[in-house]
Amino acid sequence: MKKNLVVHLPGPKGAARTAKTEYEVWKLFFNDNMMHTVVTHTNEEISRNQAKFSKSQRYTGQTDKTELEALFGLLYISGVLKNNHVNLEELWSKKQQILEVLDVAETDIVNQVPLSLETRGNKRCSVCPRTLDRKGRDTCITCKRNLCAEHRQAICAFCI
């Protein structure tokens, strides 16, 4: 007759046992060696494509590990928010949705996320979800983002 004996303890194994934060767990999947490889090959691709752009450093600047980690974080947030139809520029500009997901409205992490301050060329409201597609007739006085009648304020929610 066999008994229900626990041969080994349940839970994380190996290096995962010592990880205390979400970032430490993520680093188990993407260690520094992998990130260095991604940064190296990304910078090589950027160097190959620099000839296509005349003198604009904005598009041809080299990247680093921190920038790629921020990009991966945005892609994770995009997956959580189910924003697979939004381009990268719009992800950078969705500060309010990022705050709602991370629940860090009063911390310094928010100030580390660079935001796009350019207005949209199609005059859509910067606050409304893409599905509403409201026309923005007014603009924020500080960042010049387009705002619809519902979100009309002197200073938009992104700048407050």
Q: What tens digit of pLDDT does each residue of 114-152 get?
A: 333 334 456 677 677 655 556 666 776 666 677 777 766
Model confidence at 77, pLDDT cuts 50, 70, 90, reads confident
Q: Where are the alpha helices (DSSP H) in the chain?
A: 22-29, 32-49, 57-60, 65-81, 88-93, 95-102, 109-112
Phi then psi for residue 17, to 5 deg, are -65, -30
Check residue 111 and give its pLDDT. Answer: 44
Overall pTM surpassing 0.85 (yes/no): no
